[in-house]
Chains A and B, each alone.
Chain A
Amino acid sequence: MGSIGLYHYLILSTLLFGIGLYGALVKRHAISVLLCIELMLNSVNINLVAFSRFLIHGDNVGQLFAIFIIVVAAAEIAIGLAICIALYRGKQTIELEKFNLLRW
């Protein structure tokens, strides 16, 4: 079997990031966009830990960073969901297309 390295992980995380980015761009639902943003943050964590593992041996800063990101992401999701619910209560929808009051 061949070898696996940082490079592969970078590709993986970039792919994931791309998927998340794409989703955040095209999704119509606030919730779906939220999910896709979560995907993006996960890919960052893979990056950080992979760097920490392959490049900087014995260094834990990357892992530490990842821990912070995990928690921040969760907090962000919580806030996001709260906002979605408030929106739904106001307008009975969370389709982004319907939120077009403010423009120009």
Chain B
Amino acid sequence: MSLLHWVIFTPFLFAFIVPFIYKYIRPIHTGWFVLPIPAALFILVAKHIPQVATQGQLRETIAWIPSLGINFAINLDGLSLIFGLLILGIGALVVLYSIYYLSKEKEALHNFYVYLLLFMGAMLGVVFSENIIALYMFWELTSIASFLLIAYWYQRKGSRYGAQKALLITFFGGLCMLAGFLFLGKITGTYLISEIILQVGQVKGHPGFLPAMVLILLGAFTKSAQFPFHIWLPDAMEAPTPISAYLHSATMVKAGIYIIARFTPVFGGGQQWFWLVSGVGLITLFWGSFSAVRQVDLKSMLAYSTISQLGMIVCLLGLGSVALYYGPGEGGAFYITAILAAVFHLINHSTFKGCLFMVVGIIDHETGTRDIRRLGGLMSLMPITFTLAVIGSFSMAGLPPFNGFLSKEMFFTGILKAAQMDIFNMQTWGILFPIIGWLASIFTFVYCMLLVFKSFTGKYYPEKLEKTPHEAPWGMLLPPLVLASLVVLFFFFPNVLANYLLQPALVAILPGLVGLSSEIEIIAPWHGWTPELIMTLGVIGIGIGLFLTFRSWSKLYTYLPQRFTLNILYDQLLIKTEDISRKMTKGYMSGFIRDYLLYIFSFLVVTVGGALLFLDSFVYDPTGNSTINSYEIVLAIIMLGAALMVLFAQDRVVAIIGLGTMGYVVAMFFVVFRAPDLALTQLVVETVTTVMFLLCFYFLPRLEKEKVSSSFQAIRVVISMGVGVVVTALALSAQGNRLFEPISWFFENSYELAGANNIVNAILVDFRGFDTMLEILVFCIAGLGVYTLIKLGLTRRKQDESK
């Protein structure tokens, strides 16, 4: 157990203590006890920054399931370090924020913090795990924690719906990812990411390459809310705002991005990966920002904006994967910058989006609504919140002097370069990248402005609000303040970040292409009058125009089809499956045993018939045949007749007689087969069985009586007489089976008979003692049954008498 393992386990362990703290220390908000955990762990992980920056990575392994080759290995490199710091840093801020956001009187705080800590541990597990199976395990845990947290305000119908939707979609994706991981494991023979990366050459040529890639990407896309799996994220906004800020913008939804970045060295460099990743990213970027503009709920707007921003990061990662196509050298140098931009924007997005979520949380908390149609004029009432909102959304819109400007410029560089690519069919399609990217940026600008100005400027409608708004307490303002100052700091000192965090992350994403000491392009706000800057100016110009005329063109959205949205598809899918389920069930589950038994018949016909049809017919070597004997023919005929009698008898007594006859004839066959012991047993048991049936009929007096017709009476007499004769004959023969011995058809091995006679007995007692013991048990249970039967009969008689 190394220190890093403890970083993962500590939140889990502490989650167990939280309910007790909540129970016994009620006066103090439970959040204060939780806060030190992420804060301390943040410092602990941050201490590793210099080490990672110089050594590249840290590995620790403990044995977990060696018999399946699964060990709990931990890898701390540049990429996981960034994620770890985000998880813990924003985690600490969110806990602080939640202390003021969630009332200690009204809310079930223990649940909240247990789930939060579970999530934190699981998320750390995802990014630190070196073993993909362990990674998957933590991955699903984050889905569950997210499910529980979305549903935290269970009273709302929407939260239940959203929670279930998020769980189903991400769990489905997770399973796909697991399948992909197993594919990789099969190809490479290892579950360790670092070892898989070492065998890239083997993976690339393998037929399992494409399925593995698609499956893993499915996992990543569902988690990171990429089109068309983004539908769960807006519904997940039912969660308390600190959770939305934490899980659904800063950390969990970035797990998919982590996976894409992590597996870039394995799958990247090819056409499929490039198109899948950057294509889906680009569509998501546009669709997210386009949909965000029409939202009236501030959180929904932020949700779509998150979708869009995640799409942008994914798109950059896809572009950057081209670096692997070129390999080390001049050709790929540029694409490394795209990866740099992706990682940089990842951090930036966490800062400004976290800040914005907290701002929206403050608005919600103070006014009681998040609907921009009811908000307005809050600027003078909440000046600090307004400032924070401006910093956050201007950064998101890509304006200086905020960090969003830097990464947005780098994104423009990336898509402009993509238009000039001459591989992967980009000659024809490449031009789409700058166009779609630029359009998306315009919409981003518009909703950023809507976000700020619709709620903070304009007319103030106190009558539309549930509460009288005023500035939030300092505890709630502090976390977004920290994030907002980071937004500004990163703009002025991007290269501190680049040296200590971004460069090691690049080494992790593109091993072999980037060295720890190699130079990377310095991030700077001013590059001169580049096309990127002109694009930004265009965004601002057109964006302001669209924002001012928003009222006139927003009606366009109403023309979009309402019936074919992905949400309806998802709902219909669930309804339809249940429908199919219902139809299927009613169709064949009739509840009648007869119908049930029919299935086996068909199965036997199909299998046996199929077997006989496809294989040779049923041939048997007739060696060992003895001369045919009239006894046997007669016996066989009687037997079949008796069986048919059982089958067609209308009266139960006739049926019993049929069965009895059959049993006795079988006993006679045993005599023919020189198994007298068996014959005796059969005889005795058959008699007992018949008696039991008759006894049973005594208890069921009225059964079927009315069905007995007079014509059957005569037959019954005849048959019963016949049976009587047979039974007598059999009893005689069985009593002295020697009677049969002299008969000529026993000539073959006559001495064996005597031997067999003894051997069966001997086996039964000696060799088969154990089976016999079990058999006695069976009989005891049967006896118990009969005993109960009689007991029931007696009670019944008593009841009758009492009546």
Contact = CB atoms under 8 A, between A and B. Distances in A.
Interface of A: 1-8, 10, 12, 15-16, 19-26, 28-29, 31-33, 35-36, 38-39, 42, 45-46, 49-50, 52-55, 57-58, 60, 63-64, 66-68, 70-79, 81-86, 88-89, 93-94, 96-97, 99-104
B632 to A, nearest CB: 6
A84 B700 contact: yes
B183 to A, nearest CB: 39
Given A4-B627, A68-B775, A70-B681, A82 B591 contact: no
B610 interface: no
B704 A81 contact: no
A46 B419 CA distance: 83
B756 A60 contact: yes
Contacts of B703: 31, 88, 93-94
Given A4-B632, A81-B692, 4 more contacts: A74-B779, A75-B782, A78-B785, A85-B699
B591 to A, nearest CB: 3
Contacts of A93: 703
B601 A82 contact: no
A70 B682 contact: yes
B622 A3 contact: yes
Interface string B639-662: 110011011000010011011001
A34 to B, nearest CB: 8
A100 B688 CA distance: 32
A42 B620 contact: no
A88 B703 CA distance: 9
Given A75-B781, A85-B792, A104-B585, A38 B636 contact: no
B585 A6 contact: no
Given A5-B622, A19-B643, A81-B789, A49 B591 contact: no
Interface of B: 585-586, 589-594, 597-598, 601, 620, 622-629, 632, 636, 639-640, 643-644, 646-647, 652, 655-656, 658-659, 662-663, 666, 669-670, 673-675, 677-678, 681-682, 685, 688-689, 692-693, 695-696, 699-700, 703-704, 749, 752, 756, 759-760, 763-764, 768, 771, 775, 778-779, 781-783, 785-786, 788-789, 792-793, 796
Contacts of A58: 749, 752, 756
B775 A22 contact: no
B676 to A, nearest CB: 10
Contacts of B591: 100-104
B586 A6 contact: no
A79 B782 contact: yes
Contact of A3 (B597, B601, B627, B670): B627
Contacts of A77: 689, 692-693
A1 B591 CA distance: 52
Contacts of B585: 104
A42 to B, nearest CB: 5
Q: Which 9 A-B pairs have the closest CB atoms?
A: A103-B591, A5-B625, A75-B782, A3-B625, A78-B782, A82-B785, A4-B628, A82-B789, A81-B696
21 contacts: A6-B622, A7-B622, A10-B620, A33-B593, A39-B643, A39-B646, A49-B673, A58-B756, A67-B681, A67-B764, A70-B678, A70-B681, A72-B778, A79-B781, A81-B692, A84-B700, A86-B792, A88-B700, A103-B589, A103-B590, A104-B591
Contacts of B699: 85, 88
A11 B669 CA distance: 15
B474 to A, nearest CB: 60
B594 to A, nearest CB: 6
Contact of B625 (A4, A16, A63): A4
Contacts of A84: 696, 700
Contact of A81 (B589, B592, B693, B783): B693
Contacts of A72: 775, 778
A75 to B, nearest CB: 3
Given A1-B628, A19-B647, A86-B792, A96 B593 contact: yes
Contacts of B786: 78, 81-82
B696 A74 contact: no
Contacts, number: 219
B723 to A, nearest CB: 15
A104 B584 CA distance: 10
A82 B788 contact: yes
Contacts of A39: 643, 646, 659, 662
Given A19-B644, A84-B700, A85-B792, A55 B624 contact: yes
B696 A2 contact: no
A4 B630 CA distance: 10
B543 to A, nearest CB: 58
Contact of B652 (A4, A12, A29, A83): A29
B655 A32 contact: yes
Contact of A24 (B597, B643, B662, B695): B597
Nearest to A55: B624
B685 A74 contact: yes
A12 B632 CA distance: 11
Contacts of B673: 49-50, 52-53, 63
Contacts of B663: 38, 42
Contacts of B674: 53
Contacts of B662: 16, 39, 42
Contacts of B636: 8, 12
B626 A31 contact: no
Given A68-B775, A70-B685, A84-B696, A60 B759 contact: yes
B666 A100 contact: no
Nearest to B665: A42
Contacts of A24: 597
A94 B69 CA distance: 57
B647 A49 contact: no
Contacts of A100: 590-592
Residue picked from B598, B700, B749, most chain A C-beta under 10 Å: B700
Contact of B782 (A4, A16, A36, A74): A74
